[in-house]
Structure 1
């Protein structure tokens, strides 16, 4: 009954705090942490002991990492292995050494220096990945690098837990313990591999055949907690086992159904984890030692950010990405609280160092969502610092930033920015069609591997003019920004348009709401994934019902016209052109907006000579929300007009650079 009362207090308090946070635009994670601070034993004392909440919070961490493993895949993990082992290893080692030296000098306590280094080396997997997921940045370069480093940190917790008793003089033999752990780990990984390969597919097939949601959910829970229990029994962490369980299921065809059924439970229990972390903050201690606590919080954040920046830069990534990752991983992690308990039990940490550590660690977690939100702007400002170009562009091998030697100069080519699935498919299509292309990619490992395969790929940040110059951006015919990170797509769109005013620029975005911003920044076309996905889905559904193809195409044209209405501004209703365009496939309808200050403004349609010189007819104008149908040659164009033209596709493509050039001269 006491547990139920505690949970009721926690959830009622959380509802109120989250409502307030939502009004003032504070991330929910911060709200959960504040709820813990208020209700915990060091706050209002509504919860006298946090043990009951901590047990459920541990379930939340397990479910969080299980869901992340489901959304990840073994192939993705192998792809970022360099970041995991080299990046994660360097970050942990350098942080331990630097903190060890600083704490020994600052506190004059050699006994606490090394343990403090071990604790501070860890970042918060739960908070970082949750925040990146909410911001849809987990697939971005900074998200993938952060994930790789965090995975190494989670694995590094195990040898740390073995090493700490040795510092207290209670471990009989570190080498013997490591040997036993290594043997257990090898056995567990072999067992998991065999289960995933031979046993798990059969079990899931049998369970799915019953069509019982309850049985499927229970099976997923058994797999999640079963693997977590096995790894925990062998001395590994519960969280690592949960991630491995999700990773195993991610390779099956049932991963999406499993994720859908686990999400509500994950969100509920994960919120309890953040609340339990907030309960560790001793508010009275913080107020009594505010200058010292703030100094440690800021100092540790700066130190960790600098170490991560150096590590990411050493891996060859651009300075902007290094700064971004440094800010993402600048906090102390949840596993540090677990290790601190081990340190306290072995009397390695004592005195004021324990509440001080808990105070600045919790505060660093609270500030994490804000740091991640500010990271793009800070990284952008840092990229304009007066530093050597080699640092700003990344320490990749020089050959990575040059096209293959001996190749003819690129002209009328496609520049593909980003070599994920979209970029790869576009490159494959261009190659099979004989269209020249060049690729810009920011992952040095991908660049190295693809260059060995003969791909015309260069390394660099495509928002940098020098990188764009390497792929002859001014001589390109089309540029495609295929990245998934919205902030990077916006920056690159601005840079490409500034470097090549007349190039045809196509940008990818996930949501239709992003499209108007990209159009305003200079994109000629924006492909929203949610709109195009919906079109492909209903087209396939209607095909199954034997709806005539011409009717489906007409419906596609109408949906696209309605969907893109907010992207390119008011348009001519497309359905009246559908039949004509279907019968005349070489013809096209296109709209151009007359910008303020453009030399086109105040000119008559006849003076432009579009029909005489280019064979293109102006069929309509949209002015002040009203249509002007079939305007005559004496009609003067005004700033803000949308001019709709009709003509052969090849002719419209010819006037497009002309229109861009006129706008650029404005």
Structure 2
């Protein structure tokens, strides 16, 4: 029996493995490998793939899983925080791109309806590529990451009205107003239904599923919630991806969201590869090669146009020029929903075949450039800011902008011998809370307008601005700060801030939070005093608890972890722990552990008996250190102490004997 699609799946995945292995050796992004795979194996290449439509269906599943995980990691609270950016930023970006593209396309000879439709296509960016890259690089919570997510959400929403307007542009008129009102009603109905599910139904369902202790059932439940929500939004005319994002938001409010992400991630990685392959399959290589100069010119024009619109949009939302530039280099490409819209345009004769191929080529070229542009966006932005304006003009503009940022009563605020926090995310907020409890004066610099306004409303001593600007640092008296903590997710911005701080003060103790240990050396070289990488600090917290369970003395554990931090985490590198490190953490009581075992009602062998009658010491050589009973601890243990139901026994002995006692309890 022949399994449909099996040949196509084998060809796609097998060819992808070979190409991506080559790309990895050349340090090229894997996304490019998938695009090249589609070009080679598609109908316009070697024609190795026959079931192109079925492959596109698999790619849709990949987009569903991608948006589902993004929704889980973002949460409803995070979406509410950026609601203004979604509406204002998305509307300005899509509207501005639509107007300019329509004007240029009309000047190039397209009719007005076709020019407007081309504006629809160019205004959309790639949700799949951008969010995947931002997620991999840990930039989802940076200002440019939040801006990108907000604008992409708006684009996903605006696709529906664009689909409704397309027949009207083609002359197939209908009651457009009624259709839009009906669609708005359906959208509100779906949001209301999803709210009820997230508030009442899904938490109860997940509790029952988790109690079943079945990994298969948990994964199946996650997939059903994801697909059911996507199907619900699709059935009322909204996009599948938007439904999957809503499903992720529902799960994000649950305490099981981390396990859901881990369970779905392998499915996403497999199916999202089919999306990129399907995009590559659409390209006519012969047409692409024959018209390469013209296509490159069109691509450059699209990039410049979208960059300008996005930069203006972000700056109008009161973000600095650097954030605007990085956002532009993140969202300059033409996205996957434009492909869906283009097929509708073909059916209504709004796209000629040659225009369609031009559009495909522009889309693939911009998608292929996206990994490089996102990777180098901070460096390119810094260079453009330095080279684009004369130093005198740039400084004057920054001074004018920074004066607008400072609060009206800023002159009355003074800081001395204080703690300066750069970034008021989770880490910054926690440090500020600890400083407040300790009575330490502190100031905060935050670039995200939403976080700034929320913190300002809560009475925090916060200043809006870019900490890389000298005037902002001077305003919070950086030169008089005792400690500076930099807790932001942008490594390029972090390095700029450190350099600027060291221009103002050499005495402040600068502590930097980074994501990877590879960033430590460069950060220290620029002037940081301490660098705390998230990836190894998590490991330290884990093995601290492990060593504690092995009865290593606490002072030895503290000394060992202190050495690791003092030597910039080299002990945790691939070289391993040296002999000196091993000697310092040897246990003083080898092969002995402390365990906590519960006494349940059916433990008839020990319930109601004294310790001497239970045989724990005589049979197993186990010592009872303490008993927890009714939220209190019994530490004065005697042979006549009676064991009761629901007691928690703190036992000391060898691991083997502890295991024997555990079996003795449950038999």
- Shorter-normalised TM range: 0.7 to 0.9
SS in 2 for 1:383: helix
Q: Does the alignment pair 1:532 with 2:537?
A: yes
Shift of 1:277: 0.5
Structure 1 partner of 2:421? 416
Deviations 1:592-645 (A, max 9, x none): xxxxxxxxxxxxxxxxxxxxxxxxxxxxxxxxxxxxxxxxxxxxxxxxxxxxxx
Q: 1 CA distance for matches of 2:208 and 2:110?
A: 62
Deviations 1:53-101 (A, max 9, x none): 1111111110111111111111111111221111111100111011011
Shift of 1:403: 7.9
Work out whether residues 65 and 242 of structure 1, in 8 Å CA contact, stay in contact via their aligned partners in 2.
yes
Structure 2 partner of 1:319? 321
Q: 1 CA distance for matches of 2:19 and 2:582?
A: 50
Q: 1 CA distance for matches of 2:551 and 2:408?
A: 49
Q: 2 CA distance for matches of 1:131 and 1:261?
A: 20
Which structure 2 residues correspond to residues 168-317 of structure 1 after superposition, within 5 A? 168-317=170-319
Q: Does the alignment pair 1:407 with 2:407?
A: no
Which of 118, 124, 127 does residue 126 from structure 2 map onto? 124
Which of 516, 524, 528 does residue 519 from structure 1 map onto? 524
Structure 2 partner of 1:462? 467
Q: 2 CA distance for matches of 1:519 and 1:283?
A: 49
Structure 2 partner of 1:598? none
Structure 1 partner of 2:509? 504
Structure 2 partner of 1:487? 492
Structure 2 partner of 1:343? 345
Q: 2 CA distance for matches of 1:345 and 1:53?
A: 21
Structure 2 alignment gaps of length 5 or more = 586-667
- Measured on the aligned residues, the alpha-carbon RMSD in Å equals 2.6
Structure 2 partner of 1:64? 66
SS in 2 for 1:507: strand
Q: Does the alignment pair 1:428 with 2:433?
A: yes
TM-score, with normalisation over the residues of structure 2? Answer: 0.82
Change (3 A) 1:54 1:393: farther
SS in 2 for 1:253: coil
Q: 2 CA distance for matches of 1:394 and 1:225?
A: 51
Q: 2 CA distance for matches of 1:576 and 1:401?
A: 55
Structure 2 partner of 1:386? 389
Q: 1 CA distance for matches of 2:458 and 2:214?
A: 47
Change (3 A) 1:157 1:572: same
SS in 2 for 1:461: coil
Work out whether residues 494 and 521 of structure 1, in 8 Å CA contact, stay in contact via their aligned partners in 2.
yes
Q: 2 CA distance for matches of 1:404 and 1:529?
A: 37
Structure 1 alignment gaps of length 5 or more = 579-666
Which of 115, 135, 138 does residue 137 from structure 2 map onto? 135
Q: 2 CA distance for matches of 1:402 and 1:505?
A: 26
Structure 2 partner of 1:84? 86
Structure 2 partner of 1:162? 164
Q: Does the alignment pair 1:44 with 2:46?
A: yes
Relative to structure 2, which stretch is displaced further, 464-473 or 8-17? 464-473
Change (3 A) 1:32 1:119: same
Q: 1 CA distance for matches of 2:290 and 2:4?
A: 32
Q: 2 CA distance for matches of 1:391 and 1:44?
A: 58
Work out whether residues 301 and 331 of structure 1, in 8 Å CA contact, stay in contact via their aligned partners in 2.
yes
Work out whether residues 41 and 49 of structure 1, in 8 Å CA contact, stay in contact via their aligned partners in 2.
no
Change (3 A) 1:310 1:433: same
Shift of 1:565: 4.6
Structure 1 partner of 2:100? 98
Shift of 1:249: 0.3
Structure 1 partner of 2:454? 449
Change (3 A) 1:393 1:28: farther
Q: 1 CA distance for matches of 2:200 and 2:552?
A: 43
Change (3 A) 1:392 1:24: farther
Structure 2 partner of 1:632? none
Which structure 2 residues correspond to residues 581-596 of structure 1 after superposition, within 5 A? none
Q: 2 CA distance for matches of 1:481 and 1:346?
A: 54
Work out whether residues 314 and 324 of structure 2, in 8 Å CA contact, stay in contact via their aligned partners in 1.
yes
Q: 2 CA distance for matches of 1:140 and 1:406?
A: 29
SS in 1 for 2:138: coil
Q: 1 CA distance for matches of 2:308 and 2:341?
A: 24
Which structure 2 residues correspond to residues 594-613 of structure 1 after superposition, within 5 A? none
Q: 1 CA distance for matches of 2:581 and 2:231?
A: 59
Deviations 1:125-169 (A, max 9, x none): 000111112222222111111111111111111111111111123
Q: Does the alignment pair 1:439 with 2:454?
A: no
SS in 2 for 1:439: strand
Change (3 A) 1:226 1:571: closer
Q: 1 CA distance for matches of 2:374 and 2:153?
A: 19
Q: 1 CA distance for matches of 2:373 and 2:397?
A: 21
Structure 2 partner of 1:611? none
Shift of 1:109: 2.6
Shift of 1:447: 2.2
Q: 2 CA distance for matches of 1:171 and 1:247?
A: 37
Structure 2 partner of 1:600? none
Deviations 1:177-221 (A, max 9, x none): 112111211111111111111111111111111111111111111
Work out whether residues 483 and 511 of structure 2, in 8 Å CA contact, stay in contact via their aligned partners in 1.
yes
SS in 2 for 1:527: strand
Change (3 A) 1:260 1:505: same
Relative to structure 2, which stretch is displaced further, 536-545 or 175-184? 536-545
TM-score, with normalisation over the residues of structure 1? Answer: 0.82
Deviations 1:211-270 (A, max 9, x none): 111111111111000000000000000000001001100110111111111111110000
Work out whether residues 5 and 51 of structure 2, in 8 Å CA contact, stay in contact via their aligned partners in 1.
no
Q: 2 CA distance for matches of 1:437 and 1:571?
A: 40
Work out whether residues 412 and 476 of structure 1, in 8 Å CA contact, stay in contact via their aligned partners in 2.
yes
SS in 2 for 1:107: coil
Shift of 1:527: 1.3
Deviations 1:382-427 (A, max 9, x none): 2223265589659968453358445353221221111111111222
Work out whether residues 564 and 571 of structure 2, in 8 Å CA contact, stay in contact via their aligned partners in 1.
no
Work out whether residues 316 and 395 of structure 1, in 8 Å CA contact, stay in contact via their aligned partners in 2.
no
SS in 1 for 2:511: strand
Task: Give the paired residue count.
Answer: 577
Q: 2 CA distance for matches of 1:354 and 1:406?
A: 59
Q: 2 CA distance for matches of 1:206 and 1:272?
A: 34
